[in-house]
Amino acid sequence: MGPVTGGAFVVATIIKVAVFFTVMMLSVMLATIVERKIAGFIQDRSGPNRVGPWGALQVIADGIKNIIKEETMPAQAIRQFFVLAPVLAILPATILFAVIPFGSPLPTQWGFVEMIVADASIGFLYILAIGSIGVYGIAMAGWSSGSKYSLLGGLRGSAQMISYEVALALSLVPLILLVGDVRAPEIVSMQQGFTAGAPTYSMWFVFPLFLGLFFFFVSGLAETNRLPFDLPEAEAELVTGYHTEYSAMKFSMFMIGEFAHVITVAALVTVFFLGGWDIPFWAGDNIRVLSDGTVIGEPTGWKTILTLGSFSIKTSLVVVVFMWIRWTLPRFRYDQLMDLGWKFMLEAVTVYILVIAFVILGIEAVGIPVGIWYALILFVVNLLLALMLFFMIDRGAIIRGAARKI
């Protein structure tokens, strides 16, 4: 059985787009209520508990309120860009899901359907390119509002996202060196145990490249404007930052975009470092689709359901970590945020790339095949680099506290 083609392919793609977009919006709704519950737990209070059982329908009430609420348009606002900014804020996070594989292929009578909207040959580059568009929505919202608070928030947000996009992209270079391909399904396949079509070993990249995961996760926090990197919407300084002048549904679109971006980054962490839809300690889900349409393994409907569940659980756990960090860590000062991005992250990631590249070159020169020893050597190297990074190099010299003398 080969992949679906012709009219069946078009129909399958339309269905996948509709389903994935609906699931994304429902996930955003669920994430908002979960975060408020987690915040209540951490702060020793109940959280939403009035609308529906355990407050589960509070998000529905909030949505209805924002839909029927009157929208304001500041007199000094530039109308066209003021309206366009919320769209640009929500768009990148939603269309990034097009290149993320969610599960194993689903067999049908017309052929198998891959659980990815578009298996682009430039998947990694597509992710970086589309992800960088989000800065336009923030900058445009701040500039077009005609408010100095919004403008300052937009400037902060654009500077922050540009600063950490570099580290975000560079943190994935060691992963690309290890895989040798930029397609997201190929990255998942190697973590399942495939190399050049042949099974080798099953090792998620969180082990041999865990320092790269740290760099990617920290950069992802900054890209999503989440604490401790929420300087663009610092309430104590900028009211609410770049969306100060927004109300009703336009304001909600910024919130939807933020939560959608969090879910997207969590999904990328799952694909790049947590094996994607791979189920641990089970080889039955090791299914790979080659570029010519050949399938290695036996795809079935129940395997598709199980792998979708595995991907969802991993992504949900990463989202919970995002929320946990938000409600436990204080906000950086702005000089600390920029110091971290330009004086620490950029240099550390660059050195990390060089070290991993030389280690991979040395391993291949010795003749060690891709397998458990290959991964163990990379793990030891990452461990040594992490010890140097956290206990020897910084020690508060770069990210200075308020009481430290310069």
List, for residues 95-130, the tens digit of each pLDDT value. Answer: 888 888 888 888 888 878 888 888 877 877 888 888
Mean pLDDT of all residues in 170-198:
80
Range in 77-86, 154-163, 253-262, 288-297 the model is least confident about: 288-297
323/225 Cα distance (integer angstroms): 12
List, for residues 1-18, the tens digit of each pLDDT value. Answer: 667 777 888 888 898 888
pLDDT for res 196: 47
Q: Assign 295 a pLDDT band (cuts: 50, 70, 90).
A: confident
Residue 230 makes CB contacts below 8 A (sequence gap 6+) with 331
List, for residues 314-353, the tens digit of each pLDDT value. Answer: 999 999 999 898 888 877 777 788 888 888 888 899 999 9
89/57 Cα distance (integer angstroms): 25
288/210 Cα distance (integer angstroms): 25
Burial tier of 291 (Cβ tally within 10 Å: 0-12, 13-18, 19+): exposed
| Percent of the chain whose pLDDT exceeds 70 | 90
Say which amino acid occupies 337.
L
4 or 389, greater pLDDT: 389
Q: Assign 197 a pLDDT band (cuts: 50, 70, 90).
A: very low
300/385 Cα distance (integer angstroms): 42
* Sign, Cα dihedral of 343, 264, 322, 270: negative
Mean pLDDT of all residues in 284-298:
73
List, for residues 50-91, the tens digit of each pLDDT value. Answer: 888 888 888 888 888 888 888 888 888 888 888 888 888 888
125: enclosing H helix or E strand: helix 123-131
Q: What is the pTM of this model?
A: 0.88
Alpha-helix residue ranges (DSSP H) falling in 202-300? 210-223, 235-238, 248-273
340/256 Cα distance (integer angstroms): 27
pLDDT for res 355: 93
